[in-house]
Chain A
């Protein structure tokens, strides 16, 4: 007779086979339904060699998927037109900025994640949007007021759509709204852009409703269009492991300490902070920037 303490033994299942094909192994202690969710994330948003894909994909490698925490929406006027003339939202390594006029860099919301009083937690982000005249933020199920704001996913609302096929119609509704710029492949149908749909009166005239994402032409449209747009409403995610590019201009607020410049006498961020030194040393250790090492 003997008394024993059992050990947990992994048993291969079909999901493991799929996981091997997708390059994602099941993690120790990971429930199978969470593993499937991770595999589906990889299958439906496959990793590519772009910066944004890498940022989105890190969470699923480590078994901690990004949490949707806010839905950012535009405030509309009585005619359902956004109050913001050129809206944009960006999350950098140290800042969240919501621009109501991005072209002129006029922002309505600015949260500094390293500010312990007004930017440290997600509740500070929510409070900042509550004071906005142009944007609203809605907290989602996964929101927690004491999640660190600096772990908001590095991202922005600027998007680009390549070669959308236009229908042979006088009106075309594009799949996105809040357009910024648009280009057409057909120069004869889209020869002269006018300022109002009522002015579309001659061959080659066209009007673009940038807010609604609609194109009106005098002749039936043909060819394709490519356009940039602001993805609003925008869903903001929180990462348990934050990923930011090292060339982000705002990263100096974390990686550099201030010191007085000899030349100007002003405070400048020019000295590596302890965190910055640690990161750069690690980078140099695996990627020496000089030849011959």
Chain B
């Protein structure tokens, strides 16, 4: 499910199910259109960056091509009158006596954005420290081991000067970090990084040296490093966290939890509700959390098994998420929110209902126990009893028992406390109950409400989400600590006092039917084309 589906749903009133419930039929319908625009929005973001020299990605500057001989040109087969389709060959590349069967991509865009099939180490860099500057030692400037962009991590801020502040008259009205230094060509550069709030920032410029850092407008701890060294979160500039009542920067962070034996790793999607640090910080008042969690998704490798994640990074070339595990493997995800599927139950939701079933979150964390609530939303009839049924991902159907806490296979009703009350609101008191989400997948709930005149049904679902990697790549790095991308676009993995850089290779091809040419992302000693 696209991150943008909720934006379409937010066109509806806040009380509507299509807006509040991502498992609803309407929400899933909107997802069809959101999926189409999701890819376009990533492309649009990149296009806006494209003319800039300092954009975070370089692009794919070369392809490898071959013109097919007359015997091998793409063959056509008639399908209907006046139409035909192509028959495509099998393409096998041989490099250093190893055969690679190439995957066909339907067009050039998908070929350019394809996940890598293999990686090879191309460079390494020893280092003594990633730190270039820290507010804890403001007069010390560390050397960069190689020219790179700078990553800024800001934490522990208690004060963001307000534009209207008169207590600090030196304040110019902006929250900013100035970084002065030299670029790769030894030319002096100065970049102003606007700091809206605590968080993780990255310079556009590539620095060779840093000679001066000026922090203005806030009092937080600032750490500047030349490698994205396991920061508190990773911002995803190509996607947006959209909730049913606000949207903002999509922040990705990792966590782990033991569930039934194995250790599972999760990527947490979150976003700050208020955007400016000065909006919610008050002197002398304890700071409340400003970050809302959108989902916590279990990470699985390409074989579907859990692993212990160490760090993650976004590849700006493909906008894919790369997660490094403790064994030195890198898992590549074309990540998005998991989709709610068609309900397996035979319960048919009625057009209207008196009581709704509201889970704490529609995307629960696997392994957690979370509450669901009944909500007597429409006070039209006196309630006699309700039935709460759940269907776990394995298909086991259980009912909430009359004690309102335990689930069992036996069908059970929960009687209303006062079905003959004078007014409907006197007949029913809302309850809460919990489910331990110990299975990955979709948990379906049905609430059947029996009033003194009719019976209504309400259905909803909760997703204990997981994500399977498109590909898992072994780097051979022992005890890795962080993952990131270099200015050249190489995948960097750190271990001890060394960063190893890997080039990615895509074993894929696409057909240029106009010129009977095969276009490939990687080079091979020879390529064999067979039909």
Chain A residues in contact with chain B, CB under 8 A? 1-11, 13-15, 17-18, 26, 31-33, 35-37, 39-41, 43-45, 65, 68, 235
Q: How far is the CA of A173 from the CA of B531 in the complex (A)?
A: 77
Q: Are B529 and A39 in contact (CB under 8 A)?
A: no
Distance in Å from the Cβ of A32 to the closest Cβ of chain B? 4
**Minimum CB distance partner of B72 in chain A:** A2
Which of chain A's residues have a CB closer than 8 A to the CB of B526? Answer: 3-5
Distance in Å from the Cβ of B95 to the closest Cβ of chain A? 11
Asked whether A8 and B53 contact (CB < 8 A) given A33-B58, A33-B489, A44-B189, the answer is no
Q: Pick the residue among A3, A14, A31, A32 that contacts B527 (CB under 8 A).
A: A3
Q: How far is the CA of A18 from the CA of B59 in the complex (A)?
A: 13
Count of A-B contacts with CB under 8 A? 107
Q: What DSSP secondary structure best describes chain A's contact surface?
A: mixed
Q: Pick the residue among A14, A15, A45 that contacts B187 (CB under 8 A).
A: A45
Q: How far is the CA of A7 from the CA of B59 in the complex (A)?
A: 19
Asked whether A1 and B53 contact (CB < 8 A) given A36-B58, A235-B186, the answer is no
Q: How far is the CA of A2 from the CA of B89 in the complex (A)?
A: 11
B185 within 8 A of A: yes
Q: How far is the CA of A17 from the CA of B529 in the complex (A)?
A: 35
Q: Quick check: which of B60-68, B267-275, B292-300, B426-434 contacts chain A, the rest being far away?
A: B60-68
**Minimum CB distance partner of B90 in chain A:** A1
Q: Are A13 and B61 in contact (CB under 8 A)?
A: yes
Q: Per-residue CB proximity of B512-531 to A under 8 Å, as 1/0?
A: 00000001100111111111
Q: Are A32 and B58 in contact (CB under 8 A)?
A: yes
B105 within 8 A of A: no
Q: Pick the residue among B65, B189, B489 that contacts A6 (CB under 8 A).
A: B65
Distance in Å from the Cβ of A59 to the closest Cβ of chain B? 10
Q: Per-residue CB proximity of B37-77 to A under 8 Å, as 1/0?
A: 00000000000011111110011111111101101100000
Q: Are A6 and B530 in contact (CB under 8 A)?
A: no
Known contacts A6-B65, A37-B185, then 11 further A-B pairs from the complex at CB < 8 Å, ordered by chain A residue: A3-B526, A4-B66, A5-B66, A5-B525, A7-B65, A13-B58, A13-B61, A15-B59, A18-B52, A37-B184, A40-B184
Max chain A CB contacts within 10 Å: which of B49, B68, B184, B489?
B184
Q: Are B527 and A4 in contact (CB under 8 A)?
A: yes
Distance in Å from the Cβ of B488 to the closest Cβ of chain A? 4
Which of chain A's residues have a CB closer than 8 A to the CB of B63? Answer: 8-9, 11
Q: How far is the CA of A33 from the CA of B530 in the complex (A)?
A: 37
Q: Pick the residue among A1, A10, A18, A235 that contacts B62 (CB under 8 A).
A: A10
Q: How far is the CA of A4 from the CA of B523 in the complex (A)?
A: 11
Asked whether A40 and B185 contact (CB < 8 A) given A4-B529, A33-B488, the answer is yes
Offer 11 A-B interface pairs, CB within 8 angstroms, sorted by A. A2-B528, A3-B527, A5-B66, A5-B525, A9-B64, A13-B60, A13-B61, A17-B50, A31-B61, A40-B187, A44-B189
B487 within 8 A of A: yes
Q: How far is the CA of A92 from the CA of B219 in the complex (A)?
A: 51
Which of chain B's residues have a CB closer than 8 A to the CB of A39? Answer: 53
Q: How far is the CA of A197 from the CA of B291 in the complex (A)?
A: 59
Which of chain B's residues have a CB closer than 8 A to the CB of A43? Answer: 53
Q: Are B60 and A6 in contact (CB under 8 A)?
A: no
The 5 closest A-B pairs by CB, nearest first: A13-B59, A14-B50, A6-B64, A32-B58, A4-B66
Q: Are A65 and B185 in contact (CB under 8 A)?
A: yes
Q: How far is the CA of A45 from the CA of B187 in the complex (A)?
A: 8
Distance in Å from the Cβ of B76 to the closest Cβ of chain A? 18
B278 within 8 A of A: no
Q: Are A68 and B529 in contact (CB under 8 A)?
A: no
Asked whether A6 and B523 contact (CB < 8 A) given A1-B531, A13-B58, the answer is yes
Q: Pick the residue among B59, B184, B488, B529 that contacts A1 (CB under 8 A).
A: B529
Asked whether A1 and B528 contact (CB < 8 A) given A33-B488, A41-B187, A44-B189, the answer is yes
Asked whether A68 and B68 contact (CB < 8 A) given A9-B519, A40-B53, the answer is no
Distance in Å from the Cβ of A201 to the closest Cβ of chain B? 35
Q: How far is the CA of A133 from the CA of B526 in the complex (A)?
A: 62
Q: Are A17 and B51 in contact (CB under 8 A)?
A: yes
B334 within 8 A of A: no
Asked whether A2 and B529 contact (CB < 8 A) given A11-B62, A37-B184, A41-B187, the answer is yes
